[in-house]
Structure 1
Amino acid sequence: MLHFLLVLSGVTLGMAMPLPDYYSYSTAVGDGSGTEYSTEYDGRVTGIRVWEHSNAYIRGIQLRYDGNWTTPVCTSYGNPLEMTLRGNESFIQVSGKYYSGYIYEIMFVTSRGRSLKVGQSYGNSFNFYPTNDGSQLRFLSGRQNGNGITSIGAHWAVY
């Protein structure tokens, strides 16, 4: 009987335990007027597109999950700036500026030190990052008013 318990213990110790689902939320900044949005989608974030209103505020944002682009948030008018992630790269920081009802600047930083910065360095600063090691950007949420992004928050989790 003792032999059976030792073997069973060895099997239990040898099994891989699942990773806990670490989640954190970076509280939204900005005016918050308009309609709620969320970019939540299945899969891992693998790219970002951002539209700017001619040297002013951020007009629209779109995320790519695996190979699928979400519907653009707010507007996709004009030419976006875009970043596609490589291999095991992930977004680990979102920062920028907000002022007078709009997000004016947004910057996405990857686990490999690359970044995409769009907009004007004007207003109050914000800096979002996960609170758990190994977490990455899962989706963005906030509000938009049809002309631009009025608030933004970031959701992080281990993928």
Structure 2
Amino acid sequence: TLQAKCCPLPHLSVPLSPEVNGPGGGSYFYIKGEEQGEIQGIRVFVGVLGLIKGIQLRFGSHWSPRYGAPGGRAEEFLLQEGERVTAVHGSARACVWHLRWITSRGREAAFGHPAGLQLLTVNGQHQLFCLSAIGFKWGSPKKGRVSHLPF
């Protein structure tokens, strides 16, 4: 089980670095855009077997480039005015299989098979067929304090 919240979860194992979790391997990515404003949307690309194949974030009115493996069906979760992502849960084996995003308003969005700081951006690694690791940067852009917490 993968989790990302405001606090470290020591029972989760095998972080590749302090910023990502999952089995890893493949090409590293970091979604830039936090300087353009807060996250307004999440677009996840899900393959036919339910694998998480790619990801994009929307900062303001602009979508980031897509990161991950080619293919997959795009699924979007748009945040409402003033809403923030406050937790992310998921699961991974060789690839990331499931991500569930929870907001400050209690809304949830789940992608794939089967209270704290706000999400600033996402980073990770991808292989030919899927995302192989994913990490989350948490903090408060208004105060400039950012924490890198593994999940």
Q: Would you tell me which structure has more helix in proportion to its own residues?
A: 1
How far apart, CA to CA, are the structure 1 residues paired with 2:7 and 2:66? Answer: 24
**Structure 2 stretches lacking a partner, 5+ long:** 1-5, 9-17, 142-151
The answer on 1:143 being equivalent to 2:125 is: yes
Q: CA RMSD in A?
A: 2.0
The answer on 1:95 being equivalent to 2:84 is: no
Moved over 6 A (4+): 23-26
**Paired residues, what number?**
125
How far apart, CA to CA, are the structure 2 residues paired with 1:113 and 1:139? Answer: 20
How far apart, CA to CA, are the structure 1 residues paired with 2:127 and 2:72? Answer: 17
Selected match of 1:67 from 45, 61, 64: 61
Structure with max Cα Rg = 1
TM-score, normalised relative to structure 1: 0.72
Give how far 1:152 is off.
0.7
What amino acid is aligned across from residue 111 of structure 1 in structure 2? Answer: S
Map 1:2-81 to 2 at 5 A. 27-41=19-33, 42=35, 43-75=37-69, 77-81=71-75
Identity of aligned residues (%): 26
How far apart, CA to CA, are the structure 1 residues paired with 2:105 and 2:113? Answer: 24
Deviations 1:10-39 (A, max 9, x none): xxxxxxxxxxxxx98874221110000011
Give how far 1:119 is off.
1.0
How far apart, CA to CA, are the structure 1 residues paired with 2:7 and 2:110? Answer: 23
**Structure 1 stretches lacking a partner, 5+ long:** 1-22, 122-128
What amino acid is aligned across from residue 22 of structure 2 in structure 1? Answer: G
CA contact (8 A) 1:24 1:155 kept: no
Give how far 1:80 is off.
1.0
Selected match of 1:158 from 125, 140, 146: 140
What amino acid is aligned across from residue 109 of structure 1 in structure 2? Answer: I
